[in-house]
Structure 1
Amino acid sequence: MKKTEKKNVRETVLELLEMIEKNQSYSNILLNHAINKNKINSKDIGLLTELTYGTLQRRMNLDYYLQPFLKNPKKIEGWVVHLLRLTLYQMIFLDKIPDHAALNEAVEIAKKRGHKGISSMVNGVLRNVQRQGVPSLEDIKDPIERLSIKTSHPLWLVKRWVEQFGFEETEKMCELNLTAPTQTARVNTIKATREHVLAMLEEEGIEAKPSPVIPEGIHFLRGNIANAQAFKEGLLTIQDESSMLAAYALGPEKNETILDACAAPGGKTTHIGEKLGNSGKVIALDLHEHKVKLISDNADRLGISNLDTRAMDSRKVQEVFDDESFDRILLDAPCSGLGVMRRKPDMKYTKKEEDLLHLQSVQTNLLKAVSPLLKKGGILVYSTCTVDKVENQEVVSAFLNEQIDFEGDRSIKERMPEAIQPLVDGFQLQILPQHIGSDGFYIACLRKKVQ
């Protein structure tokens, strides 16, 4: 029966690319759904992931290569453009798939989904690419525009980054954003040592190694973490290394009461709970009930018992909590997420420059809302998973100019793992993806004056 016919890998990728563009849904969520729905064979999951992310990652680059071969691109149906990009990605960037195999598969899909005219056009375009080769990127004279097309980052974004970090750092960041991120996890130090967990993983045939940066961090080289016994027993949790640094900056001490103001999905929250050794209390807030449940479920799996989770808007915390009722506060603010593009490549094409300014006002309001709840002498850590100064240094600078009872806390450096200390600048830390191969991340450590 045609309706229940199982889709092959490339047909599934094509469907995913359409859905991502149409619904502006995150690729990582849709990808997991597609694997389950289409019962993708475990040996094909790698190819499905590679083709989906690769085609998304290099979309602007692929469009530049296709441009000379398309007569009326605006008249071509969306799914056909996705099919051409997907096939060209295989022909240019994947060595293991022969051109003729990728090309024939594209023609078959075009026949199946369209009519003879479409399959002829797809065949003609791809054979012309094969014969003539793609245009050179060197034809783009402006170096910033060339970098934008070569690495498929919007021109407005590349310009911003060049202004903020210089051309060389921007180029490194854009290039790294095209690569798959290393999967990392944090050992639950309440229950186990890193050596013990690594030994357990090795016994199960999961290839992993200690992080060179974070004392409780692990890098996974091969194998599924979520299926590991150590994961099921709550001995580790999946978290990026940059994100692990927020708890280091906060520096929780035994029996303290700590607020995590924007806590979901709970990686930082549970890290704080661990650092407290299950003493004291961590109050974790998030706007959405289902996300709060994620934090609680994660804490239960890890055996962390000092959490109090609540669904609420952190801009209204003063209605619920008394002034000066927390020893430390973590505000991991909602942000553009420009530091996690490797994980969500579709983000590059949906973000707009004005989004950053809108987010800046949200971030500023959150800081103003939580700051009165901090005790005198207490520490407030502001963090984001973005790299843009509008959401980071500018927010913190404006806050310090307005709130005279706060100052930058330079003791952040001594709380950081040794490998990170050289990256600390006064009371701030801006990690770019190329620094330690992790997500882009910003941390500012502020202290409420005693007098």
Structure 2
Amino acid sequence: MKKIKNVRTVALDGLNAIENNQAYSNLLLNSLIEKNKLPQKDIPLLTEIIYGTLQRKLTLDYYLSFFLKGKKKIDDWVQNLLRLSLYQMVYLDRIPDRAVLFEAVEIAKARGHRGIASMVNGTLRNIQRNGLPEIEEIKDPIERISVKTSTPKWLVKRLSNQYGIEVAEQIFLEQLKPAKQTARVNVNKATVENVLELLQKDGLEVTKGEIVPESIQVIKGNIAHSHVFKQGLYTIQDESSMLVAKALDINEGEMVLDSCAAPGGKSTHIAEMLSNTGKVISLDLHEHKVKLIEGQASRLGLTNVETKVMDARKVGEHFQAETFDKILVDAPCTGFGVIRRKPEIKYSKTDKDVHSLATIQKEILQAVAPLLKRGGLLVYSTCTVDQEENSNVIYDFLQQTCDFIKDDTLASRMPEKVAAHVDNGELQILPQYFQSDGFYISALRKKV
């Protein structure tokens, strides 16, 4: 019988895969749990260690650098073992240091040799004895924020230039906190109260959402595994993301294009708002992602979603001009607004990625614009907080396209606490506003 790996060994496997194979943390976690047949009671600790170590990687490396001076270059897996061990010692007060040290040494022995085990033991005991260096003593403010929030210096500098250094620091500090677990109730099938009651009967601790009326928030438990989810009574989605469909001002019977639709959260929200009338044409570049949209629509009992595998930049070859009442461009982006959900983003993306994505975003907007009817609404959204991908893209689009204007009624379609952040048809949500994802939404009206 195969021996079940312990949590820290599995966490090390995960961190190595993220570091060496550019694996996505959210997808990887599920496969690790399945592959290693981890007991349910160990899943929260595995999640905490992987996400926490990833989120704090640069901070942990800063601390470790003081205790690894003069040592030869160590292997990546040893660095990850030191990181995850130090993470537990510094940030998890319910695990005694002796347990962390014992596990680290045992893993080092099993994976390496006595010399590595001795080095790991010596380094961690040295930290235990001497304490950690003070981050606040770093004089350069950009470097200090970089180490404190575990964010690459180039990104700290970039968002400090856009928002000011204090707001940038708040963004990065907020994204160190765990993400809320929220869902959007399928109001065609149930009320918020119905769903809350059903989930509470299932033993979950749930409450109403804080921003969107049809949202719920999970305090304790996992709603992805509930039979209520399988019945299609809700979709797992962040509240910031739910605001995108609201921005479209959907009316029954309309034809709506969702040009970059996978995995389908916004497409299905639009379809629900249409009350199964009209049609949502949902496009994505990849066939396997289109299947995700179809799966969502089927689970939710939606018959007005039609999917196509297509590059949004080539929509003009497949649809006639002025076909759609509303168009959504939820554009591919750097994802700097969802770092708390996918911490590897802050280490893998570069300045160059921002520029190349902004180019693609502009190309998609230019391609879909002719397909919108006169007087129709185009909503552009991203899950990033970088202005080059957001307000700058809209500014450039309006400079080049004379038949669009900003829609000054966007605020009227937003919940009250969100409306205050709308400025001239644009909404930039920063993660610290509502402890939700960072999101940008712009509404543009085509001239009649």
* TM-score bucket of the superposed structures, by smaller chain: over 0.9
| Distance in 2 (alpha carbons) for counterparts of 1:228 and 1:6 | 26
| Distance in 2 (alpha carbons) for counterparts of 1:226 and 1:63 | 34
Shift in Å, 1:72: 4.2
Q: Report the equivalent of 1:67.
A: 65
Identity of aligned residues (%): 58
Equivalent residues in 2 for 1:177-256, closer than 5 Å: 177-256=175-254
| Distance in 2 (alpha carbons) for counterparts of 1:442 and 1:256 | 24
Task: Answer yes or no: is 1:368 the counterpart of 2:393.
Answer: no
Q: What's the secondary structure of 1:254's corresponding residue?
A: coil
> Which of 397, 401, 405 pairs up with 2:395?
397
| Distance in 2 (alpha carbons) for counterparts of 1:221 and 1:412 | 31
> Which of 103, 117, 120 pairs up with 2:101?
103
> Which of 143, 154, 157 pairs up with 2:155?
157
Equivalent residues in 2 for 1:127-146, closer than 5 Å: 127-146=125-144
Q: Report the equivalent of 2:8.
A: 10
Task: Answer yes or no: is 1:445 the counterpart of 2:443.
Answer: yes
Q: Report the equivalent of 1:92.
A: 90
Shift in Å, 1:19: 0.8
Q: Greater shift after overlay, 140-149 or 441-450?
A: 140-149
| Distance in 2 (alpha carbons) for counterparts of 1:279 and 1:120 | 67
Matched AA of 2:126: N
How many equivalent pairs are there?
A: 448
Q: Report the equivalent of 1:122.
A: 120
Task: Answer yes or no: is 1:296 the counterpart of 2:294.
Answer: yes
Matched AA of 1:227: H
Q: Report the equivalent of 1:415.
A: 413
Matched AA of 2:163: F
Shift in Å, 1:78: 1.1
1:303-325 alpha-carbon deviations (Å, 9 max, x no partner): 11111111111111000000001
Equivalent residues in 2 for 1:324-335, closer than 5 Å: 324-335=322-333
Shift in Å, 1:227: 2.1
1:251-290 alpha-carbon deviations (Å, 9 max, x no partner): 1111110100000000000000011111111111011111
| Distance in 2 (alpha carbons) for counterparts of 1:162 and 1:135 | 25
| Distance in 2 (alpha carbons) for counterparts of 1:42 and 1:49 | 12
Shift in Å, 1:419: 2.0
Matched AA of 2:79: V
Q: Report the equivalent of 2:18.
A: 20
Matched AA of 1:335: C
Matched AA of 1:230: V
Q: What's the secondary structure of 2:172's corresponding residue?
A: helix
Matched AA of 1:162: S
Shift in Å, 1:18: 0.7
| Distance in 1 (alpha carbons) for counterparts of 2:69 and 2:150 | 22
Q: What's the secondary structure of 2:373's corresponding residue?
A: strand
Asked whether the equivalents of residues 4 and 38 of structure 2 are also in contact (C-alpha less than 8 Å), the reply is: no
| Distance in 2 (alpha carbons) for counterparts of 1:351 and 1:124 | 34
Q: Report the equivalent of 1:34.
A: 32
Q: What's the secondary structure of 1:97's corresponding residue?
A: coil
Normalising to structure 1: TM-score of the pair? 0.98
Q: Report the equivalent of 1:356.
A: 354
Shift in Å, 1:138: 2.1
Q: What's the secondary structure of 1:19's corresponding residue?
A: helix
Normalising to structure 2: TM-score of the pair? 0.99
Shift in Å, 1:230: 2.0
Instruction: Classify 1:103/1:170 alpha carbon distance in 2 versus 1 (closer, same or farther; 3 Å).
Output: same
Q: Report the equivalent of 2:256.
A: 258
| Distance in 1 (alpha carbons) for counterparts of 2:143 and 2:305 | 48
| Distance in 2 (alpha carbons) for counterparts of 1:74 and 1:296 | 52
Instruction: Classify 1:74/1:238 alpha carbon distance in 2 versus 1 (closer, same or farther; 3 Å).
Output: farther
Q: What's the secondary structure of 2:20's corresponding residue?
A: helix
| Distance in 1 (alpha carbons) for counterparts of 2:241 and 2:303 | 21
| Distance in 1 (alpha carbons) for counterparts of 2:42 and 2:226 | 21
| Distance in 2 (alpha carbons) for counterparts of 1:294 and 1:49 | 24
| Distance in 2 (alpha carbons) for counterparts of 1:300 and 1:293 | 10
1:211-257 alpha-carbon deviations (Å, 9 max, x no partner): 12100000001112122232111111101111100101001111110
| Distance in 2 (alpha carbons) for counterparts of 1:138 and 1:200 | 48
| Distance in 2 (alpha carbons) for counterparts of 1:112 and 1:294 | 40
